[in-house]
């Protein structure tokens, strides 16, 4: 953190967010909401990969709307009051409202507050769509902090909304926990959870069969082994080492190996839900 002063901040668990959540003017068959990682810009490579891979998996015959938390109007600029995906250590503060059940870590209050806004923004968006597009199928995906924010939104969704979420895909979640959703081979998650610690309920039981959480072998955040994060500094653009596992399975590498199979699962689940609906 360098010379940054650590200050106390009573971060409220549920901040008021001046988010841009407009009712849809037309309802695509499927809504896909992606969330970026901390310190990443809007339209990050991970978000673009999730969007591209899901569009390819779903096929061109299904109408699709793709949104990003923090830019719900799609103008490429940060929404006022929207999800900022702040860097975990750029705004250090003691979080007096830290909640272990939400995997809050008290000394990264700025991160916690940004994450809370992302969670609230997603809940508000899906509530809006429940009113205007009640038949719309939903896919959620998130990278790193975006996975954390999305995961905590799941337990706050009304049952009718949750039933329309066909697939949830997480990549490099720092709040990762082992379970039936885990896609970790050959990563070793010694303590069974990521850097942010153990959350009593990683996803609600109803979502377990619809969720995949991908954790790379050299990702220090989701494995909880921060020593692995030294791989982030390696010159992986060098052809001599670019093919090595430590240059493919780091926290910054999910679009190289995980988003395509992950979003292919989403495409398959959505198409199955659409077929079941059509058969009624």
Whether residue 90 is contained in a domain is answered as no
What pLDDT does residue 280 have?
A: 66
Question: Rounded to an integer, what distance in angstroms lies between the CA atom of residue 111 and that of residue 109?
Answer: 5
Whether residue 7 is contained in a domain is answered as no
Question: Rounded to an integer, what distance in angstroms lies between the CA atom of residue 57 and that of residue 260?
Answer: 8
For 50, the domain range is 19-67+125-278
CATH number for the domain harbouring residue 188: 3.40.50.1820
Whether residue 173 is contained in a domain is answered as yes
Question: Rounded to an integer, what distance in angstroms lies between the CA atom of residue 233 and that of residue 128?
Answer: 42
User: Residue 254 half-sphere exposure, CB side, CA atoms within 13 Å?
Assistant: 34
Let me know: does 77 contact 41? Beta carbons within 8 Å. no
Whether residue 87 is contained in a domain is answered as no
Reported as a single tens digit per residue, the pLDDT across 199-214 is 989 999 999 999 999 9
pLDDT in tens, the chain (280 residues): 333 333 344 444 444 444 455 556 689 999 999 999 999 999 999 999 999 999 999 999 999 999 999 999 999 999 999 999 998 776 667 887 888 888 888 878 889 999 999 999 999 999 999 999 999 999 999 999 999 999 999 999 999 999 999 999 999 999 999 999 999 999 999 999 999 999 989 999 999 999 999 999 999 999 999 999 999 999 999 999 999 999 999 999 999 999 999 999 999 999 999 999 887 6
What pLDDT does residue 92 have?
A: 67
**3-state SS, residue 58:** helix
Whether residue 83 is contained in a domain is answered as no
Question: Rounded to an integer, what distance in angstroms lies between the CA atom of residue 216 and that of residue 186?
Answer: 8
Whether residue 273 is contained in a domain is answered as yes
Question: Rounded to an integer, what distance in angstroms lies between the CA atom of residue 46 and that of residue 53?
Answer: 10
Q: How many domains does the chain have?
A: 1
What pLDDT does residue 18 have?
A: 42
What pLDDT does residue 279 have?
A: 72
- Global confidence as pTM: 0.91
Let me know: does 168 contact 140? Beta carbons within 8 Å. yes
Question: Rounded to an integer, what distance in angstroms lies between the CA atom of residue 161 and that of residue 172?
Answer: 25
Enumerate the H helices of 24-99 as residue ranges.
45-58
Whether residue 9 is contained in a domain is answered as no
Q: Between helices 145-154 and 109-132, what is the axis angle to 10°?
A: 50
Can you say whether the dihedral through the CA atoms of 142, 144, 146, 147 is positive or negative? Answer: positive
What size, in residues, is the chain?
280
Whether residue 51 is contained in a domain is answered as yes
Please report which helix (H) or strand (E) contains residue 138, including its range: strand 137-143
């Amino acid at each position: 953190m360098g010379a940054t002063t650590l200050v106390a901040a009573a971060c409220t668990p549920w901040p008021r967010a001046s988010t841009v959540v407009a009712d849809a003017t037309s309802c695509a068959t499927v809504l896909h909401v992606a969330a970026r990682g901390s310190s990443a810009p809007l339209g990050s490579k991970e978000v673009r990969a999730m969007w591209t891979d899901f569009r390819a998996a779903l096929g061109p015959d299904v109408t699709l709307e793709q949104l990003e938390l923090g830019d719900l109007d799609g103008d490429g600029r940060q929404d006022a009051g929207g999800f900022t995906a702040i860097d975990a250590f750029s705004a250090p503060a003691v979080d007096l409202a830290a909640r272990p059940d939400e995997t809050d870590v008290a000394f990264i209050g700025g991160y916690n507050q940004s994450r809370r806004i992302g969670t609230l923004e997603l809940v508000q968006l899906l509530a809006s769509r429940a009113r205007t597009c009640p038949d719309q199928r939903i896919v959620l995906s998130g990278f790193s902090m975006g996975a954390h924010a999305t995961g905590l939104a799941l337990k706050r969704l009304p049952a009718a909304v949750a039933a329309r979420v066909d697939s949830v895909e997480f990549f490099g979640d720092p709040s990762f926990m082992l379970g039936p959703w885990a896609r970790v081979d050959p990563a070793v998650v010694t303590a069974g959870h990521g850097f942010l610690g153990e959350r009593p309920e990683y996803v609600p039981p109803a979502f377990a069969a619809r969720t995949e959480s991908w954790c790379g072998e050299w990702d220090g955040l989701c494995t909880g082994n921060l020593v692995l994060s030294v791989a982030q500094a390696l010159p992986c653009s060098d052809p001599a080492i670019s093919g090595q596992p430590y240059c493919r399975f780091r926290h910054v590498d999910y679009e190289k190996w995980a988003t395509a199979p992950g979003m292919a699962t989403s495409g398959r689940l959505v198409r199955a839900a659409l077929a079941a609906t059509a058969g009624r």
